[in-house]
Amino acid sequence: MIKVIIIGSGNVAQHLIAAFQNSQNLGTEIELVQVFSRQIGSVSHLLDLDHITNDFDTLTEADLYIIAVSDDAIAAISSKLPFKNRLVVHTSGSVPLNALDDNNRKGVFYPLQTFTKNKAVDFKIIPICLESENATDFQLLEKVAKAISDKIFAINSEQRKALHVAAVFVNNFVNHLYQIGNEICQEHQVPFEILKPLISETTQKIMVLSPSAAQTGPAKRNDIKTIQAHEAFLSNEDHLKIYKTLTQSIQHNGKKL
Amino acid sequence: MIKVIIIGSGNVAQHLIAAFQNSQNLGTEIELVQVFSRQIGSVSHLLDLDHITNDFDTLTEADLYIIAVSDDAIAAISSKLPFKNRLVVHTSGSVPLNALDDNNRKGVFYPLQTFTKNKAVDFKIIPICLESENATDFQLLEKVAKAISDKIFAINSEQRKALHVAAVFVNNFVNHLYQIGNEICQEHQVPFEILKPLISETTQKIMVLSPSAAQTGPAKRNDIKTIQAHEAFLSNEDHLKIYKTLTQSIQHNGKKL
């Protein structure tokens, strides 16, 4: 058995706990032996109390320690671990491998997904981006990752940084555009529901077409009349600034082609 | 039977033709009697030649004429119709009802979706936004729309304008963010595929949560360190400008709450 310990109790930690428990039920060789949570109560709905600790000194021996905490806390927590030369990884998209303390062997176990509390996700389709200092550790990370996901990628710290920035565009920023769509609808007494099939289809399209082939709209057509009408229509300053910035970027793309 | 004629042969026209043909096969009371296409060949794969014309003077009598052409051409085409006082609608999100010629009764039949050539869509879930000058015409439009879709909305020209602007944000602009995600991946030799489960989940989330409740990321957390690292990472000027503009807008939202 490969023994795994998760350190943390937030969204990512909780989804990982559930995923490892699932895989254990399916009979894989991964065993989640312990979870560290500052507040025992944060994870006590997920596993037995004798598998939870809030004291670093009671951490048992394991093949892999997964630190799933906020970016800012990773370095400090890795330096508090009371052992040496074991494999310790973090789960962050934006923190380099080297942020981990030198006392232990370093690695990254980054599941690229947006996790919502109380919303189950199918971990099998979540890409897990792995990095380690040596090949043996990579093989172990790969075994552990394969127990919960079908999509494993070797991604170094520089590539992971690119992925994380790209993820901000396609997740955080896209969601903010949804919010603006919602605000414009509310302002004009139109149900946001009307836009949902369009939102789904926009996503579906790029599963089969490249985003540049899927691009449509007034900016792409260089339809100045419609663009001006839209700009005149937008009363919110931030909405207008975003409209102009994104329209210009789409127009620049047209010129590059 | 309610007789319908479609004028146009582009994406929207072709998807409407297919939708009405489907509904006809299912035995609804709508009959697609004729299609006007400047180039007969553009729609000859969809219906028999004796149902296609490229001559306005040979348009037969019908209960409803649907002009599905580019925004710029709607007014001109509506003024070329060689009859009076019949019901003539257009399918555009951004053109007001009054752009149609005064010779006939005006209306709008706006299916809010992004249509791709050769990609079938399930018309039943596409919202159709209807507008007319009088109640009788509205009832007829409703009957026709219900034959192809389950989602019918009464939307006036001002509301439709808002919807169209909102659609630019959640469709055109969102797709452009996908493209930027793709560009950042390519630049750093990372497969864009890794981001697709995240893209799907981002959309899925707002089907159950409001976009403002679904918002995550460094801008939302006001994580200045990560924001600065991302800005330093972005070498493309347009990408950087979009990053800054959207980050600021998310931060402003946080302050409003």
User: What pLDDT, on the 0 to 100 scale, is given for residue B6?
Assistant: 98
- The answer, yes or no, to whether residue B256 has pLDDT greater than 70, is no
User: What pLDDT, on the 0 to 100 scale, is given for residue A161?
Assistant: 94
CB contact under 8 A, B168 and A243: yes
Whole-number Cα distances in Å, B215 to A174, A179, B212, B222: 10, 9, 5, 12
Mutate to test the interface with B, among A15, A113, A200, A249 (most CBs of B within 10 A): A249
Return the structure tokens found at A86: 């074991």
Chain B CB contacts of A169 below 8 Å: 177-178, 180-181, 184, 239, 242-243
User: What pLDDT, on the 0 to 100 scale, is given for residue B115?
Assistant: 84
Q: In chain A, whose CA is at the least distance from the CA of B171?
A: A202
Q: How far apart are CA A53 and CA A34, in angstroms?
A: 7
Cβ-Cβ pairs closer than 8 A, A with B, add up to 311
CB contact under 8 A, B185 and A166: yes
Beta-bridge partners for A232: none
Return the structure tokens found at B255: 């302050």
Same domain for A67 and A81, yes or no, is yes
Question: What backbone phi and psi angles, to 5 degrees, belong to A182?
Answer: -60, -45
Domain boundary among A155, A176, A200: A155
Q: How far apart are CA B66 and CA B128, in angstroms?
A: 13
Q: How far apart are CA A118 and CA B214, in angstroms?
A: 13
Same domain for A98 and A217, yes or no, is no
Return residues 149-208 of B near A (CB < 8 Å). Answer: 151, 153, 155, 158-159, 161-182, 184-185, 187-191, 193-203, 205-208
User: What pLDDT, on the 0 to 100 scale, is given for residue A28?
Assistant: 81
CB contact under 8 A, A229 and B187: no
Helix, strand, or coil here: A129?
strand
Q: How far apart are CA B16 and CA B32, in angstroms?
A: 10
CB distance B196 to A246 below 8 Å: no
Sign of the CA dihedral running B143, B144, B148, B153: negative
Same domain for B132 and B7, yes or no, is yes
B217 touches chain A (CB under 8 A): yes
- The answer, yes or no, to whether residue A176 has pLDDT greater than 80, is yes
Domain boundary among A155, A174, A206: A155
Q: Measure CB to CB from residue B215 to each of A127, A169, A175 and give the nearest one.
A: A175
A98 touches chain B (CB under 8 A): no
Q: Measure CB to CB from residue A187 to each of B162, B217, B246 and give the nearest one.
A: B162
Residues 6+ apart with CB under 8 A from A186: A192
Chain A CB contacts of B121 below 8 Å: 201
Q: Measure CB to CB from residue A245 to each of B114, B211, B245 and give the nearest one.
A: B245
How far does B52 lie from chain A, in Å, by closest CA?
A: 28
Which phi-psi region, left, alpha or beta, contains residue A130 (left: φ > 0; alpha: ψ -120 to 50)?
A: beta
Q: What percent of chain A has pLDDT over 90?
A: 91
Could you tell me whether strands B105-111 and B128-132 are parallel, antiparallel, or unpaired per DSSP bridges?
A: antiparallel
- The answer, yes or no, to whether residue A94 has pLDDT greater than 80, is yes
Same domain for B16 and B142, yes or no, is yes
Q: How far apart are CA B241 and CA B252, in angstroms?
A: 17
How far does A147 lie from chain B, in Å, by closest CA?
A: 18
Q: What is the pLDDT of residues A65-90, one digit of tens each?
A: 999 999 999 999 999 999 999 999 99
Report the pLDDT averaged over residues A153-163: 95
Could you tell me whether strands B64-67 and B2-7 are parallel, antiparallel, or unpaired per DSSP bridges?
A: parallel
- The answer, yes or no, to whether residue A100 has pLDDT greater than 60, is yes
- The answer, yes or no, to whether residue A48 has pLDDT greater than 90, is yes
CB contact under 8 A, B246 and A206: no
Mutate to test the interface with A, among B12, B177, B189, B223 (most CBs of A within 10 A): B177
Same domain for A44 and A9, yes or no, is yes
Same domain for A26 and A142, yes or no, is yes
Report the pLDDT averaged over residues B70-86: 96
User: What pLDDT, on the 0 to 100 scale, is given for residue A256?
Assistant: 61
What Rg, from alpha-carbon coordinates, does chain A have?
22
- The answer, yes or no, to whether residue B257 has pLDDT greater than 70, is no
User: What residues make up the domain containing A213?
Assistant: 160-256
Return the structure tokens found at B39: 């180039």
Report the pLDDT averaged over residues B97-121: 91
B56 touches chain A (CB under 8 A): no
How far does A141 lie from chain B, in Å, by closest CA?
A: 18
Q: How far apart are CA B15 and CA B36, in angstroms?
A: 14
Q: What is the pLDDT of residues B81-93, one digit of tens each?
A: 999 999 999 999 9
CATH number at residue A54: 3.40.50.720
Q: How far apart are CA A19 and CA A32, in angstroms?
A: 10
Same domain for B80 and B187, yes or no, is no
Q: Into how many domains does chain A fold?
A: 2
Chain B CB contacts of A172 below 8 Å: 215-220, 246, 250
- The answer, yes or no, to whether residue B118 has pLDDT greater than 90, is no
A118 touches chain B (CB under 8 A): no
Return the structure tokens found at B6: 């479609």
Residues 6+ apart with CB under 8 A from A47: A17, A21, A32, A35
Q: Measure CB to CB from residue A174 to each of B114, B174, B182 and give the nearest one.
A: B174
CATH number at residue B213: 1.10.1040.20
Same domain for A14 and A112, yes or no, is yes
User: What is chain B's mean pLDDT, rounded?
Assistant: 95
Q: What is the pLDDT of residues B32-62, one digit of tens each?
A: 999 999 999 999 999 999 999 999 999 999 9
Same domain for B11 and B76, yes or no, is yes
How far does A167 lie from chain B, in Å, by closest CA?
A: 7
Same domain for A104 and A141, yes or no, is yes
Same domain for B175 and B233, yes or no, is yes
CB contact under 8 A, B238 and A252: yes
CB contact under 8 A, A168 and B241: no
Chain A CB contacts of B238 below 8 Å: 248-249, 252
User: What pLDDT, on the 0 to 100 scale, is given for residue A254?
Assistant: 73
CB contact under 8 A, A185 and B163: yes
DSSP string spanning B202-245? HHHHHHHS-HHHH--SHHHHT-HHHHHHHHHH--SHHHHHHHHH
Domain boundary among A139, A155, A171: A155
Same domain for A241 and A114, yes or no, is no
* B101 CB neighbour count, 10 Å cutoff: 17
